[in-house]
Amino acid sequence: MEATSDMLPLIVALPFLGALLPGIVIRAGRDTCTWFTLFPTALALLMLLLHAPGVMAGEVYHWRLDWLPGLGLDANFFLDGLGLLFAGLILGIGLLIILYARFYLSKNDPMGQFFTYLLLFQGAMVGIVLSDNILLLLIFWELTSLSSFLLIGYWNHLPEGRQGARMALAVTGMGGLAMIGGMLILGEIAGSYDISVILQHKDAIQASDWYLPALLLILLGCFTKSAQFPFHFWLPHAMAAPTPVSAYLHSATMVKAGLFLMARLWPVLSGTPEWFYIVATTGLITMVIAAVIALFKDDLKGLLAFSTVSHLGLITMLLGFGTEAAALVAVFHIINHASFKAALFMTAGIVDHEAHTRDIKRLGGLRHLMPVTFVIATITALSMAGIPPLNGFISKEMMLKETTYAAWAGNPWLVPALATFGALFSVAYSFRYIWHVFMGPVRDDYPARPHDPGFGMWAGPALLAAIVVGIGVAPFVVEPFVNVVAGAVTGAPQDTHLKLWHGVNAALFMSIAAILGGALLLASHRALEAGWLRAGPPAAKAIFDAIVGAATRAARGLTDGLHDGSLTRFSAIFVVTVTLAGAIAWSTGEIGAPSRATLPIAIVPLIATVLLVGATLCLVAFHRNRLLALVLIGVVGLTVAVGFAYFSAPDLAMTQLSVEVVTIILLLLALNFLPRETPRESSGARRLRDGVLAVAGGGAVAALAYAMMTRDFALPSISSYHLANSYKGGGGTNVVNVILVDFRGFDTYGEIIVLGIAALVIFALTQTVLRGAGGRFLESQGRPGGEAGDRHPLMMVVATRVMMPMALMVGVYIFLRGHNEPGGGFIAGLIVAIALLMQYMASGFAWAEARQRVPYHSTIALGVLIATATGIGAWFNGVPFLTSAHDYFTVPGIAELHLSTAVAFDVGVFLTVLGAVMLALWSLSRMARRTGEPVNVEPMDVNPAADAASSREG
C-alpha cells in the first residue's frame, strides 16, 4: 500500500535547518545551545514516529518533486520499514549523543560549532535512508563524507585528528566516486533513477551484461563506507574524534550507511554467486581479522573501533548469504549492535573523561570507583560477547545458525568454523573490556581520580543498556518491527518468531565453544600479546600513507611533465589528442556518401576567401610585429563579417563589425604599453612542429566541416524548431535575437555577467598599476619625439561631435528593431560604445570624462540587475527563469503595439555591454595619459568629474 506524506522532506530538512541555530544561540549559554540542538532532532523524530503505525500496517509513504526531470534527478523520498529503522536509529541515538556531548565537551571546545557539524551530518544520513532517487541519495552520501570529515577533525589542534579526518575522507570519498558509476549503470539498466522503480527490475538487472560492473562499483562504495576489509583501517583512526562523534558514527550512522545500501538494494542484487562470494566472503574476512586485532588493542576506543569493524563484517556476511532468513538476522543485529555499541562508546568516553586516559594498561579496579559506569559497561559488553539473556546473544545464535547453511565452494564447514573463530575473539575482547578496565584492585597511579559522572553523561548509555536487557528478555516486543523491516529488505512478508532459547542445536554448541574459547584467550592474553607484538603485523596507516605518497608523486610527475606552464606545450598536447581522437573516430565509424552537391563558387567569394587565407598566412609569418599583426587581425575580422553578410546572417555581420571596431581600438591602447615586436622564443624545430600540428588540426576541422555540409541527417535541425516557435513562443520574428533573449537567454545572462567581470578585472589591474611603481613610471614618460603638436585635430573633433547624435540614434534604432529585424541590445551597446569611443579619440580623455555623468561601474551593475529582474519576473507567472511573455497593447489615438518582456532583458544586455566596453577603455586610457596630464587613481565612481577637473587639455 502506498500513501503520500508531506512530512518526509521536512524530516530530512529539519536537521539542516537546525544546523543554523547552535552557532547563533551559543552566546546564550551551553544549555541553551543544547536545547536548540535537541529541538530539531526531537521534532524530526516525532514526525517520523507519527508514520510508524502506518509502516507497521504495511504502508509505504512517498513524496515526489520533479526537480530536474530531464536528468532523472527528482527530489523523491519514501519511507518503509527499512527507512523507519535507520532514520529512527539516526534520530533516536542522535538525541542521546547530543545530551551526552553537552556534558562531555569541555568549556574550551566550541560547542556551537560541534553541534552545527553534528546536525549537518545527521541531516545527510537521514537524507540517505529516506531518498527514493539514487542521484539524490548520492548527493547525501557525499555530504556524509564531508560532514564526517568536519566531525572527525573537530579537534584540529591534534595531528591524529587531522590525519584521521583526511584518511576517512580519502577512503570513503574514493568509494563514493566508484559508487556513482555503479548507481548510474543500475539506473540505466532499470530505465529509472527512482529506487522504488529499480527494486522492481531484479530480472533485468541480473540478466544484464552490466550487472557485475555495477555490483562491483556499488559494493566498493558500501565497503569503504562500512570499513570492510581491506578498507577497514580508516575507522580506528577516526577515533581521534571526540567520543560523542565516535559513538554516533560507529553505532548508528556513517558506518551503517554501507549496510543500509546493501540492504536497500538486496532485492535486486542478491541471490547470485557473484553477490555471495564477494559480499559474504568480504564480511567473513572482515569479521575475523578485526576481531583478532581488537583483542590486542590497549586503547579503549581502539578496541571498540575494531569490534565495530568486526560486527559490521558479521552483518555484511549475513546479507551476503542471500537468504531471507539471513537478511532478517542482519536486520535484528543492526538494532542490537546500535544499542550496545553506542552505550559502550559512551562508557569509554566516561572513563576517559574521568580518569584522563583510555589506556587499558593504566586502568583497572574501576568497579569500586565508578559503579554506575561499571554496570552499564558490563551489560553492554556482555551483549557484545553474545551472553544470555541479552539481545546480542539472540542475534549471535541466529547468525551462527545461518552459517551452517552456507557452503563456500562446496565446503559446508569453512564458513561456520571461521564464524565461530570470529565469535570466539569477540567474546575475548568483550571480556577484556570488562576485566582489564573494571576488575582487579583499585590503583593509586590513575592520571586522575576516577568517579561516576553526573546524570547527564550516564543517562543515555543507561537507557541503551535497559534496551539491551529488554530485547534480550522479551524479544517478542521487537518481533513485529523486525519482521516489517526484514520484509522491506527482502521484498516479501516475514513471520519469524524471536526467542531467547533456540534449543539444542549446532549453533548452541558453536556459541558455547566461542564463550569458553574467549575466556581461555583472555586468561592467556599476556602471552598471546607478546607473540602478537613479535609478529609485528603491518600497520595499515603506514601502508595507506605510502600509497597516498606514491600516488601524489606519480600525479605530480605526470602533471609537471604534461603541463609545465608552457602554453605552447599544453596547446600541442591538446591539438594532438583531439586530432588523434577525431582520426580514430573517422577511421572506425561509418559515414555515408555525400548526399548534397557542392555549389559553384562565384568570383567575389573566391576573392574574399583568398584575402582571408592570405591575411591569415601573413599573420602567422609576421606575427612578431604587433602593430602589423593587429592590422591583419582587422582584415580577417572584416572579411569574416562580409562572409556573414554574404551568407544571409546580418545579425552576425553587424555584431562582427561592431566587435572588430571596439576590439581594435582597445588593443591599440594596450599595444601602447608593449614593445613594438614580440621576442623570438621558439626554436626552428619547435616552430616546424607547431606548424605541422596546426596544419593537421586545421585540416581535420576543414574535413569535418566539408563532410557535415555535404551530407543530410535523419534528425531534423533544431533550427526548424526555432523558426516555428520564434514568434509563437518568444514574440519576435528575428530568430537570432529571440534565441539570445529567450530560448538561450540563460546563456546570454551568464555571458553578460562574465563580460562585466572582465571589465572590472581590467579596471582593478590598471588601478593597481597606477598606484604603484608603474604609475610613477608612466608619469615620468615624456611625449615621444615627432608627435604632432595638434593632439586633437579640429576637423576630427567637429566630425565626431556632429556624428554623435546620429550614432546614438542608430544605436537606439538598432535596439528597438532587434526583436523583429537584425539588431538587438548587444549590437546597440557596441554601436553606442563606438560613438563614445570617437569622442575620447577626437577630443581627449579629460574632455570626454568631464561630460560623462554616469559611472561605468554602475552601468554594468544596472544592466545585470535589470536582466536578473526580468528573469525573476517569469517565476511569478509559474514559468522557468527568463521565460518571456508578449502581448498586443493598444495606445489610444496612436496604434497597436506588440511588446515583449524580452525587451527589458535586452536593455540589461545593452547597458552591461556599454558599461563593460567603456570601463575597459577608461581603464586603459588612464594609463595612456602622460606628461601634462596628471594621473588620478581614485575610483571612477567616487567622483567621475574630479579626474577631468584636475586635468588640462593638450
pLDDT in the model for residue 890 = 67
Residue-by-residue DSSP string for 143-196: HHHHHHHHHHTSSTTSHHHHHHHHHHHHHHHHHHHHHHHHHHHHHHHHT-SBHH
With H, G, I as helix, E, B as strand and everything else as coil, classify residue 888. strand
pLDDT in tens, 482-509: 999 999 999 888 888 888 887 788 888 9
Domain that holds residue 27: 1-170+234-267
Which of 359-363, 586-590, 843-847 is least confident?
A: 843-847
pLDDT in the model for residue 889 = 64
Q: Please, which pLDDT band fits residue 537 given cuts at 50, 70 and 90?
A: low
pLDDT in tens, 18-42: 999 898 888 888 889 999 999 999 9
Q: Final residue of a domain: which of 631, 663, 678?
A: 678
Q: Please, which pLDDT band fits residue 893 given cuts at 50, 70 and 90?
A: low
Peptide bond into 230 cis (omega under 30): yes
Same domain, 698 and 826: no
Cell 566508484 -> residue: 178
pLDDT in tens, 166-191: 888 888 888 989 999 999 999 999 98
Is 504 a domain residue? yes
The amino acid present at 753, given as its one-letter code, is I
* CA atoms in the 13 A half-sphere facing the CB of 257: 34
pLDDT over 50 (residue 627)? yes
Q: What is the pTM of this model?
A: 0.71
Is 361 a domain residue? yes
Is 593 a domain residue? no
pLDDT over 70 (residue 715)? yes
Q: Please, which pLDDT band fits residue 940 given cuts at 50, 70 and 90?
A: very low
Question: In this structure, are residues 343 and 244 in contact, taking their beta carbons and an 8 Å threshold?
Answer: no
Task: Give the number of other CB atoms < 10 A from CB of residue 686.
Answer: 13
Is 560 a domain residue? no
pLDDT over 80 (residue 638)? yes
pLDDT in the model for residue 686 = 80
pLDDT in tens, 784-842: 444 444 567 788 888 888 888 998 899 999 988 888 888 888 999 999 988 888 888 78
Q: Please, which pLDDT band fits residue 923 given cuts at 50, 70 and 90?
A: confident
C-alpha separations of 301 from 268, 360, 452, 650 in Å? 37, 10, 19, 74
Same domain, 697 and 750: no
Which of 266-270, 473-477, 528-532 is least confident?
A: 528-532
How would you list the strands of the sheet with 2-4, edge to edge? Answer: 2-4, 60-63, 77-79
Same domain, 21 and 130: yes
Is 637 a domain residue? yes
Is 180 a domain residue? no
Same domain, 341 and 259: no
Same domain, 744 and 862: yes
Average pLDDT over residues 277-281: 94
pLDDT over 60 (residue 566)? yes
Question: In this structure, are residues 25 and 85 in contact, taking their beta carbons and an 8 Å threshold?
Answer: no
Same domain, 50 and 21: yes
How does the average pLDDT of the chain come out, rounded?
Answer: 85
Same domain, 277 and 426: yes
Average pLDDT over residues 203-209: 91
Q: What is the distance of C-alpha 383 from the center of its chain?
A: 40
Average pLDDT over residues 122-129: 94
Nearest Cα residue to 6 out of 68, 79, 103, 113: 79
Is 138 a domain residue? yes
Grid cell digits, residue 533: 607484538
Same domain, 137 and 98: yes
Is 932 a domain residue? yes
Average pLDDT over residues 215-239: 88
pLDDT in the model for residue 273 = 92
Number of domains in the chain: 5
Same domain, 378 and 390: yes
Same domain, 815 and 826: yes
Same domain, 359 and 505: yes
Identify the residue with better confidence: 884 or 483. 483
Query: Rounded distance, CA 644 to CA 585, Å?
Result: 31
Same domain, 256 and 358: no
